[in-house]
Amino acid sequence: METTQIPLEQLDPYRYQIPSSYKEGMRVPGRIYTSDRLLNDILKDKALEQVVNVAHLPGIVGQSMAMPDMHWGYGFPIGGVAATDPKQGGVISPGGVGFDINCGVRFIRTNFKQEEIQDRLNDLVATLFDFVPSGLGSKSGLRLNQNQVKQVLVKGSRWVVEEGFGTAHDLDATEDYGAIAGADPQAVSDRAYERGKCQVGTLGSGNHFLEVQVVDQIFDEDVARDLHLFKGQVAVMIHCGSRGLGYQVCDDYCHSIGHCLTKYHIEVPDRQLACAPVESLEGQEYLSAMRAAANFAFANRQYIMHQTRKSFEKVFRKNWETMGMQLIYDVAHNIAKIEKHKLANGRERPLCVHRKGATRAFPPGHPELAPRFQKIGQPVIIPGDMGRASYLLIGVESADETFYSCCHGAGRVMSRSKATKMFNVKDVLADLESRGVVIQAQSKATIVEEASGVYKDVTEVVDVVAQAGLSKKVCRMRPIGVVKG
């Protein structure tokens, strides 16, 4: 099936629909959030076909959705969102979460203005590079035994804080307070434990990063003031996930859940959408393991933030509290959660919401938000590429049509192999230098594979979600220092 043959009905400037009548077996329509310009990139791969495939899942409600950063993934498109109703045979699919479970983003403010750190920027980036291990197979100085890893899988960020590497404020500013309930360490394989025991506090490779940024635009003065953000301010963004442990959990369950298609008489158009009923033994076991991996990722980012604070302390010879290094928010993507949502008939139901390469965006007053976010809503963090910009937004009530979901980044338009043919490291480094960006990376290949031209322009992506009413823009940050694997 050619992707370009899929019928797209434009509903408004930022919404397109694939009718459920398009292909036999579709239970709901497909819904694409994009612009005319970004749609050209979407049509270059088979991501739309995956939106159609997801619409076949048993128990799916609403629409099979994809965000403007969407591109081809495993089973689900990256940028895909789907909710299923467990009471109506709704399923959970590891392909709808992804391999890097709870790959998320953490955003930290400081009291500094750019001019106050500019002459120390090279030293700061070098120190961050030394303090936070990065690259494929990187290992942390924090070595845990299996019992300690089990505690991390249950407690998440709270375990790291209890060990002295953070504060209660950090937990309040983390999605789910840094630990999703219902994690079961027994559902995680020995191989996953082995891969994870040396990885709490490591960035990894690929698109993961640690960035020093400057707030260069404010769109909502009131929300920015509430979050203690101002123009010209230095901030830090951390993007990473559950490392080898999370990958192993996904790999284990992609294989083991495959038999559920036959056992529960489930038909899907792609084996990568292997799934199990949420309320089945297999579905509950996967959810328990996924939550454990998600908690590992929260702990990973918490410890990286601790090391980031220590780096600033070393370079500027002040404690992190004096430098105002408070966590604004930590948001998860690549996750599935049981949440209460209203359906079209107005009834509230617990649904299993898959967000693969998508992020939660709860509005003001939502009961799952910490008290400090009740008035303004949940911060939504959308990173771009290392040469351009990233954005902070806030959740809004009008995002109920996506089950309060938003995009998670800029979205790739080029594979890593193609990037190595299109770009060379010398030119990418020269481009970053011209933009005032200092970079340190473990691998020259990573620098090329993560060049700005590999990604959509995050500003265009963010404009779509803002204009579509999925989130509201608060501020923009541009990178000045980058650490990559």
Report the residue count for the chain: 485
Catalytic-role residue among 239, 333, 354, 408: 408
Quick count: other Cβ atoms within 10 Å of Cβ 22? 16
**Buried/exposed code over 448-468 (b: 16+ C-beta within 10 A; e: otherwise):** bbbbbebbbbbebbbbbbbeb
Identity (one letter) of the amino acid at 25? G
> Rounded to an integer, what is the distance from CA 431 to the centroid of its chain?
26
Q: Give the burial class of 31: count Cβ atoms within 10 A of its Cβ; 0-12 exposed, 13-18 middle, 19 or more buried.
A: buried
Strand partners of residue 107: 237, 329
Question: What string of DSSP letters covers 31-79?
Answer: EEE--HHHHHHHTTSSHHHHHHHHTTSTTEEEEEEEEEEEE--SSSPEE
How far apart (Å, rounded) are the C-alpha atoms in residues 443 and 365? Answer: 44
How far apart (Å, rounded) are the C-alpha atoms in residues 197 and 475? Answer: 37
Residue 408: active-site member: yes
Strands (E), 345-437: 348-360, 379-382, 390-395, 405-407
The residues carrying an active-site annotation are: 408
